[in-house]
């Protein structure tokens, strides 16, 4: 629940900071509820969630034990048995893969823009056989909460730019403070 809460908090922050995106098909117009089938009808909301997970991955660093010797591109060898730390945050902010990596741009995840990118460039749920078993549930949960929230409320910034506080789970120093106003 901490990782999903972190992901939701940061997405709400980004949507409050960029209100034009909340008006661009992130909510379901004139609806009072969200059905499971509706989740597939929210591609732009999915793009917004993914871009937020890129900028603020809920788990910024993961570790893995090397199961066989690995030769890296410069010829050095990572020996079997070593524990390696993988910076999800660093991977998601690599300017060689993500131009202007600090800019919030959901269109990075438009299907046309994803085609040429390595699937390992975006790993908020890790990758491979030890990826997050709950990733589909977490994405569905975030989209339901966001769709219902945006359907009923306007989310507004309440203060200045937060500072990231990368711990086991990515947080904001002092919290993320937002205002919500009921939609009329």
Contacts of 156 (CB under 8 A, 6+ apart): 16, 19, 178, 179, 180, 181
- Is the Cβ–Cβ distance between 149 and 15 less than 8 Å? no
Q: Which of 138, 148, 145 is nearest to 169 (CA)?
A: 138
Contacts of 22 (CB under 8 A, 6+ apart): 15, 150, 154, 155
User: Measured between alpha carbons, how far is 23 from 166 in angstroms, rounded to an integer?
Assistant: 30
Q: What is the DSSP letter of 156?
A: E
Known binding-site positions for heme: 132
- Is the Cβ–Cβ distance between 69 and 77 less than 8 Å? yes
Can you say whether the dihedral through the CA atoms of 93, 99, 102, 103 is positive or negative?
Answer: negative
User: Measured between alpha carbons, how far is 22 from 147 in angstroms, rounded to an integer?
Assistant: 10
Known binding-site positions: 132
């Amino acid at each position: 629940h901490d990782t999903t809460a972190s992901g939701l908090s940061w997405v709400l922050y980004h949507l409050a900071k960029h209100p034009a995106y909340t008006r661009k098909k992130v909510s379901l117009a004139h609806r009072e509820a969200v059905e499971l089938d509706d989740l597939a009808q929210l591609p732009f909301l999915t793009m917004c969630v993914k871009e937020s997970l890129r900028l603020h991955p809920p788990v910024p660093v993961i570790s893995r034990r090397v199961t066989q010797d690995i030769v890296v591109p410069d010829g050095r060898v990572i020996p079997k048995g070593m524990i390696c730390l993988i910076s999800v945050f660093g991977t998601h902010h690599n300017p060689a893969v993500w131009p202007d990596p600090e800019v919030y741009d959901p269109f990075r995840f438009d299907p046309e823009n994803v085609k040429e990118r390595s699937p390992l460039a975006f790993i908020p749920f890790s990758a491979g056989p030890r990826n997050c078993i709950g990733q589909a549930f977490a994405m569905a949960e975030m989209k339901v909460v966001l769709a219902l929230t945006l359907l009923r409320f306007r989310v507004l910034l309440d203060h200045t730019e937060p500072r990231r506080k990368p711990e086991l789970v990515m947080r904001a120093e002092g919290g993320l403070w937002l205002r919500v106003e009921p939609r009329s």
